[in-house]
Structure 1
C-alpha cells in the first residue's frame, strides 16, 4: 500500500500527467546538461534524470543543476568502479547492511540495516560500502517511476557508538544529494529511548521529502505490525522486524549474487560508453 508513505509534497506537486510530458522534461534536462550527457551516459540515463526531476518537483533547471553537482562528485569518487572484491571487511559489513532477496508487496527492493552489529571498518570504508550499495539500488530502480527502495533498519541494541554522528550526516548527504528519489519508504524498527536525542539532531540533516517517508515501528505495537503486514510477506521478512524468517544471511550466495551484479554493471557501462 504505497499510500502509507505518500508525502504531502508528492500529493500536491505538479507531476506531468503523461509519459510523453515526462519524457519532454527528461529531454529538456539532457539538453541543459550538454556534453555531460555523453561523458556519463550510464549515469545520466532517463531513469536517473527522472529521479532527479521528481526530487526537484519536476523543475528542469533545478534537476540539471543537481545532476551537474552529482557528476562533479562522481568524477572524484568514481562510484561506478567499486566492486565486491574492493570492499573491506565484507563478511561483517554484509551482515550489517545488505539487499534482501525478496521484494515488498509493491515490488520494491528491500535494503536491510542491522545497526546493532558494530562496523569493523573505518568510516572511509563504511562510506565506500554505502556508495557501492547505493549504486546497486540505483540499478534496481532504473525503470521505476517512484522511489523503488524500502530501507528497513533494526535499532534493537543500538547505542550512540553504533552510528557516529559525522558518519550519519555524511551518509545522508550522499543519499539525498547524489541518489535522490531512491527511497520510497524507510522503516526504523524498535529504536531505544536513547535514540530520541540522536534523532533530534539527525532530523536537521533530512530533507522534508525524505523525513516524511520515515516510519517508526515497534514490535509491541499492533498498528506497527499491521503496517508491516501490509507492506511485506511476513514469511520472507526477517524476524528482527516481526517477520517469520529466522534464516541467517547466506554470505556465499550473497557474494555470488553481488559478483554477478558487478559484471552486469560493467557490461552496461561498457555498452553505454560505446553507444
Structure 2
C-alpha cells in the first residue's frame, strides 16, 4: 500500500507565497490601511469593544476575507461576541485548564528561521475518551493565546510541528480536530504560518480526508506532510539547530 506521505502528496500542499510573508507583511500599503480604518469605523459603530483591538488585529481579519470589508466585519463582530463569552476576563487562566495541561500533549519553545514561535503537538498523547469537549475547546483557546504571547515584535504568525508517532484509533478525535480548526480559522485568522505533520501513520489519512475539505484554501497551503526520510532535512531547513528540540536532532532542551 502507498505511504501516508505519498497519499498526502496527491493533495495540494504547496506553501505558495504565504511562507515568506514575514512579520507584519511589509507593513501593508496605504490602500490596505485605509480599508482597516473603514473596517474599524464600521465595526465600532456596532460593537464599541472593537476599540480594544489594534489595527494589526483588524488587518488580519481583513486579509482573511480578501479585503472585503463586509465579510471581514461579519467575521470580526462574531469574534468580539465569542471573546466576551469565552474569555470574560480577557484570558483563560492556568487553573481553568490545569487538567488539560497535565496531559502533556504540547510544548511551546524556540523559533523557526523566520522568527515565528514554534509549537510541538503530540497526537499520540490525546485520548478523546478521556476528555470533555468543552474543556478541550477552552484549552485550545488557552494554547493559541499562550503561543501569541511568544510572538516577537513585528511578527504575527506562529509555526508548529504535529508529531503523530504512535497515533492510532484510540487517539482519533474528528470532533476535536474540527473544533480546533474552527477556533483557529474563525478567531485567530492569519496567525498560522506553517504546520509540519511528521511520523504520519497510514491510518491518519482516513481522518485527514474528513477534515481537509473543511480547511479554508489559504490554510490548506500551510500544512506540510513530511516523509520520514525527509524529516531531518526538512526540520533543519526550517529551524536552526539551536532552536530545534533535541528529540529531533537539535540542541534545544524542551
| Range into which the TM-score falls when normalised by the shorter chain | 0.7 to 0.9
Would you say the 8 A contact 1:47–1:142 is kept in 2?
no
Could you say what secondary structure the match of 2:32 adopts? helix
Q: Which residue of 2 aligns with 1:188?
A: 197
Say whether residues 1:156 and 2:165 are aligned partners. yes
Give the number of aligned pairs: 234
Question: Match of 2:51, SS?
Answer: coil
Alignment equivalent of 1:85, drawn from 88, 92, 95: 95
Match of 1:254 in 2: none
In the alignment, structure 1 residue 179 sits paired with structure 2 residue 188: yes
| 2:3 equivalent in structure 1 | none
**Pairing 1:27–2:37 present:** yes
Counterpart for residue 77 of structure 2: 68
Secondary structure of 1:199 counterpart = helix
- List aligned pairs for 1:55-134, cutoff 5 A: 55-78=64-87, 80-89=90-99, 91-93=101-103, 95-100=104-109, 102-119=110-127, 121-134=131-144
Q: TM-score, normalised by structure 2?
A: 0.81
Alpha-carbon offset, residue 139 of structure 1: 4.3
1 or 2 for the larger relative contact order (CA 8 Å, sep ≥6)? 2
- TM superposition shift of 1:20: 3.0
Gaps of 5+ in 1: 250-275
Q: CA deviation at 1:219?
A: 2.8
Contact kept in structure 2, 1:118 and 1:162, CA below 8 Å: yes
Residue in 2 that maps onto 1:268: none
Judge conservation of contact 2:49–2:80 (CA < 8 Å) in 1: no
**Conserved 8 A contact 1:151-1:185:** yes
Residue 169 of structure 1 is matched in structure 2 by 178
The one of 238, 244, 250 aligned to 1:244: 250
Q: 1:16/1:156 Cα in 2 relative to 1: closer, same or farther (>3 Å)?
A: closer
- Conserved? CA contact 2:172–2:207, under 8 Å: no
Q: Is the contact between residue 48 and residue 142 of structure 1 (CA under 8 Å) also seen in structure 2?
A: no
Q: Which one of 225, 232, 240 corresponds to residue 225 of structure 1?
A: 232
Distance 2:27 2:87 in 1: 35
Gaps of 5+ in 2: 1-13
Contact 2:196 2:225 in 1 (8 A): yes
For 2:27 and 2:135, how far apart are their aligned partners in 1?
42
